[in-house]
Amino acid sequence: MNIDYWTQRLIGRATCSLAPGARLLRTARIRNIRGNSACIRIGAKSLIAGELLVFRHGGVIEIGEWCYVGENSRIWSAASIRIGRRVLISHGVNIMDSLTHPLNAHKRHEQFRSIVDRGHPANIDLDEKPVTIGDDAWIGTGAVILRGVHVGKGAVIGAGAVVSNDVPNFCVAAGNPTQVIRELSDDER
């Protein structure tokens, strides 16, 4: 049997746990640096077109059922990112639960050297804070969800928003920094 280069690279490597009917689309990229497929769990009937990454020193990504992660979106976890059910994440969205690099310049350079020479470090403090996104939320294209944020159930995040504070249930939030624009009406919930 002739196995192509990309298939051969994936044999024996951790990727993710897919529930029945969940699919990784052609543009999806799973970067499971932790090496444990249970650290990235994708719920039933969800479609992933973007990138999911867990760092070597930690990280868990849980995506509920019937979710969508758009092309060029990145969900990077060093702690915990939990996405509820029926969540739509548009294209070009970034969700991160850490700083991704140390603030201290010397430590940042040491991390970079480690990545280049040996791969991601197994022990590092990136000031991780969990992120949660409630059921039925919609994250608009180009939005950025930062560490420690809770996006409420049914919330709508506007395109290009930078979310650094919690967003209540059933609200529309937009801007940089994000502000609640209005509550959703009963027929919009």
Domains along the chain with CATH numbers: 5-184 (2.160.10.10)
* Number of Cβ within a 10 Å radius of residue 70: 19
pTM, 2 dp? 0.89
Catalytic residue, candidates 91, 101, 106, 150: 101
pLDDT at 31: 92
Does the pLDDT at position 4 exceed 80? no
The answer to whether residues 6 and 24 touch, using CB atoms and an 8 Å cutoff, is no
Is residue 101 among the annotated active site residues? yes
Does the pLDDT at position 12 exceed 70? no
| Mean pLDDT of all residues in 110-116 | 87
| Mean pLDDT of all residues in 164-187 | 96
DSSP secondary structure code for residue 31 in this structure: E
pLDDT at 2: 47
Tell me the pLDDT of the chain averaged across its residues: 91
Give CA 116 to chain center in angstroms: 23
The C-alpha atoms of residue 152 and residue 31 are separated, in whole angstroms, by 27
Q: Tokens at residue 57, please? A: 């020193």
The answer to whether residues 83 and 62 touch, using CB atoms and an 8 Å cutoff, is yes
pLDDT at 114: 86
Residue of 148 and 8 predicted with greater confidence: 148
